[in-house]
Structure 1
Amino acid sequence: MNTLPARDLNALGSAGAHGSYDIPALIAARESDRYGLHLTHLNEMMVKVLQTIGYDVGFKSGHGSYLYDRNDARYLDLLSGWGVFAIGRNHPLLREALTSVLAADLPNLVQMDVSVLAGVLAERLLTYTPFLDKVFFCNSGTEAVEAAIKFARRATGRSGIVYCEHAFHGLSYGALSLNGDAIFREGFGETLPGCRAVPFNDLGALEKALAKQDVAAFIVEPIQGKGVHIPDDGYLAGVQALCRKYGTLFVADEIQTGLGRTGKFLAIDHWGVEPDMVLIAKALSGGHVPVGAVLARKGVFEKTFSRMDRAVVHGSTFAKNDLAMAAGLATLEVIERENLVEKTARHGERLLTFFQGLLDRYELMHAVRGKGLMIGIEFGAPRSLKLKASWTLLETVNAGLFCQLITIPLFKEHKILVQVAGHASHTVKLLPPLVIDDGDCDWIERAFETVIADSHKVPGAVWSLGKTLADHAMKARMAK
């Protein structure tokens, strides 16, 4: 019995014995229900957020660095799906790779066999990390973190895991246990035992945590995504030395920073370190088929898969599926063919220089941090009394609310999609596709300078928006 709504049946055709199913037609038929469907069946709070801040424009297509809304207005995407779309949206080479897999009638996920595509992708990934030997594939960054926790505990016989304050490693239970932001853990009960945090960029605190020799792994983002915090030049080398000294595995979480994002293929390449495991995901997918990977030393990997009867002690049903492996291979091919790592370094240097040049001119700007196309612009309390009073009002209502006075005008008036670097953060984070060009950089520079300049005008349109947001925040707080 067909349970589709009548209007959805229009998307069903009668081409051949099996019929056809026209997904674009289905989307068009239900476009007017976009937000109603989510309010009823999915996360209604997300819809309310979008409607409150005016982001409910109904994006209908994407290409490269750009998104197009229901009225065909073009937006520059500086979120790139939280870093997923490093090669841009709907890259033709990626599409060709995926359609060729579907056309080939490959067996796929036989389980009692091994995949050629998985072997080729693993081989290619390891050329970027010659100090590592093995690859474990999974479906996401958080699954890569979960695997790393298990591999480290098995390889060392220890249970402790050390991570950094303000870190983000995912939201499943093991990864959640390593999350440096309490809001993500609130209300979910006890997390994984044996996990403890140390300050980022603090070797003394790390040594103290490792000295008891009960820590299986120290997992760290080479550049912290929440706030775009960059370590001192000697930090990661010091981390490596301490981990070697105390028998702890050094795990680099490159899930967001990897595959060219920072102007090197991996962020660790800026500092020349060689971790025991490197975790990648996000960009490896090309934005279409989720995939994650743990790159590990042979000795670590083989402690888990140590005998034939342990061949399947850890895995993931859809890991190594042909579409995901093809997406990974196509993504690496695009990165290499289009010299995206080098272009990222060049465009990143240009944008960082521009934003740093604004620091002395705008008192609400406090710092600019970044490498490549991972850039954080931190705002903070101003000196002048008129601005300080307005800032204090917003911060009293909701910490980090000021940044929405930057991101919302950028979206509404300049067609730039960007957001803050984390919960209650004062940092606006740029994470654009690596395929942006000089014209896009011009667009970014013009828009940001205009909006930042407007934020220094009190009274002004930006601060009127601030009052509206503060009112919404107060009503939401009272409704709890």
Structure 2
Amino acid sequence: MDIAAVIAEREAERYTLHSQYLNEQMVRVLKTIGYDVSFKHGAGPYLYDSDGRRYLDLLSGFGVHAIGRNHAEVRKALKAVLDSDLANLVQMDASILAGVLAERLLHHVPYLDKVFFANSGAEAVEAAIKFARCATGRPGIVYAEHAFHGLTYGALALNGDANFRGGFEPMLPGCVAVPFDDLAALDRALAAQTIAAFIVEPIQGKGVNIPSEGYLAEAAALCRKYGTLFVADEIQTGLGRTGRFLAVEHWNVEPDMVLLAKALSGGHVPVGAVLSRKWIFNKIFNRMDRAVVHGSTFSKNDLAMAAGLATLQVLEAEDCVGNATRQGERLLTCFKSMIGRQEFVKDARGKGLMIGIEFGSPQSLKLRAAWSMIESVSTGLFCQLITLPLFKEHKILSQVSGHASHTIKLLPALNISDSDCDWIERAFETTISDSHRVPGAAWSLGKTLAAHAIKAGAGAS
């Protein structure tokens, strides 16, 4: 099959095909907010549309493209696998590439001993739930409010957003929510000693919520006290995103399990990983007849393993972790300087290149009235007055950090340059300044969005 020819021949049907055979509502969203530009190719941190216009991607596929799109080293590794005619997925065999990737991951996390590979972050979460229950003999799982751990059924039971859970209840039994960054609540939840694991994002993706300085270390201590496993979901925060290989390193915490995915794919082949202590593995795979008690058909496929190996090599060779620290500090300093100077900007927080800019009601009466008007239609709608002009006028792709959120999250490639940061700073400064002009172009856009929201709400009812 000539894939390039298929793409060229069917390009004009891009959205028609999706509407007819896939998710029609997603197409409606893209067209409503003007994101239906038909991206043709990507390189590094950039996207290019059908007219050749360049965009700076601050979504990175929700963190998948940590080393940018179509990195030459990853492409070379994948082509090498295809050209080698390897005996892939024999199942009754031991994959060399999986062994090497496991070895190199554990080199970065030396207090853990074993790796289980999966196909995605959600699958890694599912495995962690099973492993924790089996290893401890306990049924309960504790998670934090506002958490996001995936959308498969077990992972969904740990999802702190009712918008995702609605219509799919009842959830997996034994899953208990506690407020994020609340040690007293965690202590109460663990005290009955029925909890197998506390599964937590070191920095919550929905909102870029950062814990207080001692929270994770004390949470790990509470888990040890009550015989509960401490599991760090580093699916978005890991592999250098926050300026360390793992985000937990900022607080000198050593979890019992670490979950990875997203960036490990190199942006090409889905992969997830559970890094674990040996004694946990020995509880799961404790006899030869239980050697396959948990697994996933495609989990150790050679393409995924090669993508992971190439990604680790690029992270080190290009000092992506160091660059994330440097550029993240620069951008965060810029956004923090807007607090007080730009009335709508309430906070800027983050670590490395995981940054959240939070907006809120301003002080001046005129601006406050405008804010209240648009927020009364749909909570979080104001942020679209920032993201849409960023996209249309400044060619920056960004989005809010979650449903009904007032925070825009930045997850650019870890190898962005100084000139990319110049681009980001200019675009945000201009766009946020424009949002303070009432009436103005931003608020005309706001009225249009509000009308769409009201129409959508009426249609849903």
Distance in 2 between residues matched to 1:24 and 1:357, nearest whole Å: 47
* Aligned pairs (5 A) from 1:214-253: 214-253=194-233
Q: Which residue is 1:91 aligned to? A: 71
Q: Which moved more, 1:356-365 or 1:291-300?
A: 356-365
d(CA) in 2 for partners of 1:413 and 1:275? 44
CA deviation string 1:120-174 (max 9, x = no partner): 0000000111110000000000000000000000000000000000000000000
Partner secondary structure for residue 60 of structure 1: strand
Q: Does 1:303 align with 2:280?
A: no
Task: State the shift of 1:311 in Å.
Answer: 0.4
Is 2:277 aligned against 1:274? no
Structure 2 matches for 1:120-199, cutoff 5 A?
120-199=100-179
Cα drift, residue 189 of structure 1: 2.3
Q: Which residue identity is paired with 2:312?
A: L
Identify the residue that residue 326 of structure 2 maps to in structure 1.
346
Tell me the amino acid that sits aligned with residue 384 of structure 2: Q
* 2:257 is equivalent to residue 257 of structure 1: no
User: What secondary structure sits across from 2:337 in the alignment?
Assistant: helix
State the AA in 1 paired with 2:195.
V
The answer as to 2:434 corresponding to 1:454 is yes
The equivalent residue for 1:10 is none
Instruction: Give, as a single letter, the amino acid of the residue that structure 2 aligns with 1:93.
Output: E
Letter in 2 for 1:190: P
User: What percent identity do the matched residue pairs reach?
Assistant: 73
Q: Verify: 1:396 aligned to 2:382, yes or no.
A: no
Q: How far apart in 1 are the matches of 2:347 and 2:338?
A: 10
* Alignment partner, residue 41 of structure 1: 21
Equivalents in 2 of 1:422, 1:189: separation in Å? 21
How far did 1:294 drift?
0.1
Do residues 114 (structure 1) and 94 (structure 2) align? yes
Aligned twin of 1:292: 272
Aligned partner of 2:459 in structure 1 is 479
1:301 and 1:390 mapped to 2: Cα distance?
Answer: 56
Question: Is 1:360 aligned to residue 340 of structure 2?
Answer: yes
What is the alpha-carbon distance in structure 1 between the residues aligned to residue 294 and residue 87 of structure 2? 22
Matched, 1:419 2:399: yes
Separation in 2, partners of 1:163, 1:240: 13
Match of 2:44 among 64, 83, 86: 64
Q: Counterpart in 1 of 2:411?
A: 431
Distance 1:343 1:440 in 2: 12
Corresponding residue for residue 448 of structure 2: 468
Match status 1:51 vs 2:31: yes
Please list every run of at least 4 consecutive aligned residues from structure 1 whose deviation after the TM superposition is greater than 3 angstroms: none
- Cα separation, 2, equivalents of 1:301 and 1:205: 29
State the secondary structure of the residue aligned to 1:102. Answer: helix
Q: CA deviation at 1:460?
A: 0.3
DSSP 3-state at the match of 2:42: strand
- Aligned counterparts of 1:309 and 1:365: Cα–Cα separation in 2: 58
Per-residue displacement from partner, 1:355-387 (whole Å, max 9, x unpaired)? 001112011110001000000000001111111
Aligned AA for 1:447?
A: A
What does the per-residue CA deviation read over 1:327-382, in whole Å, with 9 as the maximum and x for residues that have no partner? Answer: 00000000000000001100000000010011120111100010000000000011
**Alpha-carbon separation, structure 2, partners of 1:169 and 1:189:** 17
Where 1:180 maps in the other structure, the secondary structure is coil
**In structure 1, what residue type is equivalent to 2:272?**
G
Shift of residue 314, structure 1, vs aligned partner? 0.4
In the other structure, the counterpart of 1:3 is: none
Q: Could you state the TM-score of these two structures normalised by the residue count of structure 1?
A: 0.96
By how many angstroms is 1:25 displaced?
A: 1.2
For 1:76, the equivalent position in structure 2 comes to 56
CA distance in 2, matches of 1:473, 1:216: 42
Q: Deviations over 1:274-330 (max 9, x none)?
A: 000000000000010000000000001110101000000100000000000000000
**Equivalenced residues, count:** 460
Q: Please give the TM-score of this superposition, normalised by the length of structure 2.
A: 0.99
Aligned amino acid, residue 170 of structure 2: E
Instruction: Give distance in 2, aligned partners of 1:241 and 1:265.
Output: 22
Taking only aligned residues, the RMSD between alpha carbons, in angstroms, comes to 0.4
Q: Deviations 1:101-134 (Å, cap 9, x if unpaired)?
A: 0000000000010100000000000011111000
In 2, the alpha carbon distance for the partners of 1:171 and 1:476 equals: 24
Match of 1:325 in 2: 305
| 1:104 maps to 2:84 | yes
Q: Which whole-Å CA distance do the structure 2 matches of 1:387 and 1:47 have between them?
A: 33
Which one of 162, 168, 186 corresponds to residue 206 of structure 1?
A: 186
Aligned equivalent of 2:296, options 307, 311, 316:
316
Q: Counterpart amino acid of 2:206?
A: K
User: What amino acid does structure 2 have at the position aligned with 1:418?
Assistant: S
- Tell me, which stretches of 5 or more residues in structure 2 are unaligned? none
- The residue type paired with residue 202 of structure 1 is D
